Structures are given as structure tokens and as C-alpha cells.
Amino acid sequence: MCGIAGIMTADGAAPNGGALDAMAAALAHRGPDGMGRHHGGGVGLAHGRLAIIDLATGDQPLLASDGSTLVANAEIYNYLELREEMSGAAFKTRSDCESALHLYCRDGVEFAQGLRGMYAIAIHDPGEERLVLARDPFGIKPLYYTEGPAGFAFASEPNALIAAGLAGRGLHDQPLQELLQLQFTTGRETIHPGIHRVLPGETLIVASGRIVDRRRRAALPRTAPRQSDEAEALRGLERVLLESVEMHQRSDVPYGMFLSGGIDSSVLLALMARLNEQPVQAFTAGFSGTAAHDERDHARAVARQLGADHHEVEFDQADFWRLLPQVARAVDDPAADYAMLPTFKLAELAHQAGLKVVLSGEGGDELFAGYGRYRDAQRPWWVGGPRTMRRTGRFDRLNILRRSSDAWRDGIRAAEGTMGDGPLSRLQLAQAIDCVDWLPNDLLIKLDRCLMAHGVEGRTPFLDPDVADFAFTLPDDLKIRDGRGKYLLRRWLQTALPTARAFDRKRGFTVPVGEWLRSRGGELGPLVAAQPGIEEIALPDRVRALYVRGGKREGFAAWTLLFFALWHRCHILGGEPRGDVFETLAAAV
């Protein structure tokens, strides 16, 4: 995994070397193992490498015989199969990313159709005088761009474009409202004015410094549920998951996995234990002395049953206050998801254990229907359904924000309209809507930024094209049955690993943020209310009162404002963390 950046000028002049240097420096944490550059034809590319596969000869940029040059933040899991398929091509390295370059030379701008993996790729093709960018269908790997009269620039993180002076600091209002009400932002536009996302599955073709074409590869099939009996489906599930996990383990460096007490990570560990001769390194976070469910006992039992090398970490209130400013600093494309906090500490532990790769269960809930909102979407009208997902925002009826409207839901409405035009069942529609924005712009941003801050690569075996095609087209009753989601995964796990207690009711992963905020609310409220970013959007008196009130909704709102206050200080005002939450909020910018 790596960091990539580049510039294409509108007039063909050499790109600004200082801007390229600034982007590379801003992305250095993503690629600590080496730096590469390419210049030519009005294009400059930069690559910072985190070496995972082909440690000896896999440095980038990679150059094809026709002069095409590739930089990539990618793991192409089917690279061995692609090498065999293209046996006549002259491969110069053992790098997985070289297969993508040869596919481009063969298939042109449709090259990404043959890739199985996670990727953000840039290819400069001097023969066609174009720059081609491609992002994987689920949006596992990030890619951002800005476009103007002087040309086009891209980077793995928005901060790189800002550091290079290619975009300014500021707030885009619609994404800001989404962040407050949803905890994530939707669509192409980021919260940074002028900085846009390459959408999941999108390929951009850029010529003379401007986008001239866009193409899209879908993450999910537009197919109604297929008929399948349970026994047949269980065989198919084991086949696609085993193949995906085996491919996701391809690595020339040590790897492990994140283990919660949930279904998804237990399935992954069971499969990894079957595929590995040595004990799997598994990492679990827990919370002692709070009302939040502590998953460590359950994870410990599962790990013991499978002979895993189990690492446990306590995440306590001191960690919360200490790490939150660092997390806000790492997440430049903001998602106010408190699950980032233990993820950040687990990534630190994995790095200290000598790992560069961690497998994680993101995508299992979306593909196999694990969330309660999916059951709500299936309810018949006579029992109060179907219910629209995310129909209310976090600040609705709290009277804290200076202005309020329902425009924050426009991006969700757009996804509902786009995905609703087709043969999908109500359950599939709910799953597909989550995969458009919630998954890439919350869960996968969390995984990418928290792990890359520690030089660790996160891999997601559930978010594989073959797994997605299989899972999304399962009959609805093999996803949800008897009021429980992920039925087929549970059935498989029930047999493969009885210790996991697959049919216990799902508790969900919760961080006791509300408890911790209330414990120091009298001290925290005035600090948050006084922050410039908060004064612009909320009523200070009501913000101060919020931190001494109880209630679940109030706790979510208090957390969101605290996260935004820290994020705003760093990414809009240009400040850096100055110790813990209180020290950072009290310090002058």
C-alpha cells in the first residue's frame, strides 16, 4: 500500500516540481519504504511505497515498453492469474501492480475490468497524450483530484493537494451538513471546496489537464435474488470465501487480522486458520468498567479454539482523550465514526508486533445483511414498514445548529433514486444504498486512514468481486431469517466453529463515548463551544448545555461536535494536536 500523487498541466509545460514535492511529503506516512518520480509530457507523478509484495524489484513508477508509466496505491490479488493469462508479456518485476500496467497496454482504458483487488491507479500514456486514473469498485483505496485552468492534479489524500497549494482550506456547505447529520459525506464532492473524489469503480481519462471521459465499473450486480437451496448456498459460500481469503493473504511480509466478537471476523479467522500452518496473529480491543459490551472474552475463546496468537488491548477513557486529536488529524476526509478510536490503537499494536498487513471484516454486514436497518427495510406496511434508512439526522429536533434543513439528505436521496431503478428486492436496495456512500466514505476511510497512519495495510476479503456477486444475489431469506441478519454466514460458522455461538443475538460494536463525555462534560462543553468551527455552526449556550445532558441522541451530537471541533482546528485552521483533547482545544492555533 502506498501514496500516489500527480499533476498534468493544461499547456504541456513541465509541472511545478515544488508542488509535487509538497504532495509527496504530505503522503510520506503512506509510503515509508521508498519514493519514486516520473516526469514527461506535461505530467509529473510521485509514489511513496509501503513494500508488501516484491520487496526487491517492486519500486514504482513502473514503465511499459511503449512508454506508459504507472503509479499505484494497490494490491492486485489476482496478479498471479493475470501473469499466467498474459504469458507473452515481458514482465520486468514480480510486483502485483505490473499486471495492471500490462492490462492497460492490452485493453486500454477498460483495463480495470480485469482487476481483482483494491486499487487507486494512475497511468501516464504519452502515446495517447493522456492520464488515466482508476479506483476499485468498492472504494477501498482513496483517490482525490482537483481541476482548474492550469491543469489537473490528484493525490491519495486531500491534505496533499492542500499542502501543495493546489486547493485551499475551507468548508463546502453541503458535505458539512452531511457530516453533522450522517457522520459521513456522500458522492463526488468532499468537504474541501474544489477537491473531488474519484468515485468507487470510476476510471477518469484526462487530456491537456482536463477530464474528457468517465467510465464506471459497478461493485454489485444489478440482479434480483437467485433461487438457491441452503445446502447449495453453503457450499458456494465456502468456495468463494476460501478463495478470497487465500488471495488476500498473498504477501511477502507478515500479516494478521482484527478479531472482534462478531460473525464477520470469526469467519475470517476460521478460514485463515484453515489456510495457514502457523498460528494466525489476531488483535482485539476491549473496554473495561463501562456499559459497553466488551468483546474480549468471546474473541479469546474463538482464538483459543483456532490456535491463534491472540493480542488484546484495553481501550480506556485515557486513550480516548489522548488519541482523539491524532485520529482527527489522520482523517482529512472526515467521518465522525467513533469506531476509528480502537481501530487506530489496534493498528498501532499491529505495527509494534511487526505486521504490515491486517485482514478485517468490513463489508460483511453490507453484503450479507447484518444491520437492523435492513430488517426494517423488509417490514410490511401493517407492522410499520418498510422504513426509509437514515430518515432523521443526529441534530434533528435538538435545536443546537444555527440553521437546519433536510438538504443534508440530498446525497442519500440521489443514491436511493439511482439504485431504485431496477429489479432489486427491497433488501438488496437497502444494501446497495449503503455500498454507494456509507461503506466507502465512512467504514473504508476509517480503515485506510487509521492503518496507514501506522504504516499498516488493511485488507477486506468480503469486498471481493466474486464474494459480492455471490452474496448480493442470495435469496433474501438466506440473508435474514427469524429476525437475524447474516443467516447464511451464521449457518456456516455454526458448523465450522461452534465456539463462536453464531446464532447469539448481534450486539454491535460500541465505544462508550457517551459515558466518557458526560464524565467531564462540565469541563469539555465550554471548550467545545468556544472553538471557531463550532461557533460558526452552532449556538454556544446550547452546546455547553449539551455536554451535561444525558440521552443517546445528545451523546451522539456531543461526540460529533467534539470530533468536528478537533478536525476543524487541524484541517481548516492549520493547527496540530497539542497533547490530549483538552490541551489541544485550549491551545492557540
Give the HSE-up count for residue 38: Cα atoms under 13 Å, Cβ half-sphere.
30
Cell of 457: 495495510
The DSSP symbol for 30 reads G
Cα separation, 324 vs 309, in Å, equals 28
Nearest to 37 by CA among 13, 14, 10, 66: 14
Cα separation, 469 vs 382, in Å, equals 32
CA 358 to chain centre: 14
Cα 536-586-545 angle, rounded to 5 deg: 55
Residue located via cell numbers 437475524: 484
Cα separation, 299 vs 287, in Å, equals 13
Give the HSE-up count for residue 135: Cα atoms under 13 Å, Cβ half-sphere.
23
Nearest to 164 by CA among 145, 182, 183: 145
* Sign of the dihedral through C-alpha 103, 106, 111, 114: negative
Given a contact cutoff of 8 angstroms between Cβ atoms, the answer to whether 367 and 471 are in contact is: yes
Which residues share a beta bridge with 153? Answer: 7, 146
HEC string for 531-563: CHHHHHHECHHHHHHHCCCCCHHHHHHHHHHHH
CA 488 to chain centre: 25
Q: How far is CA 47 from CA 52, 147, 155, 335, 510, in A?
A: 14, 20, 10, 26, 37
Cα separation, 359 vs 461, in Å, equals 7
Which position among 2, 97, 435, 570 bears the catalytic label?
2
Nearest to 155 by CA among 173, 169, 143: 143
Q: Tell me whether residue 450 is one of the annotated catalytic residues.
A: no
Given a contact cutoff of 8 angstroms between Cβ atoms, the answer to whether 248 and 457 are in contact is: no
* Sign of the dihedral through C-alpha 368, 370, 371, 377: positive
Cα separation, 268 vs 282, in Å, equals 10
Nearest to 50 by CA among 32, 28, 63: 32
Cα separation, 534 vs 572, in Å, equals 12
Cα separation, 245 vs 141, in Å, equals 18
Given a contact cutoff of 8 angstroms between Cβ atoms, the answer to whether 138 and 440 are in contact is: yes
Cα separation, 453 vs 96, in Å, equals 23
Give the residue numbers annotated as catalytic, written as ranges: 2
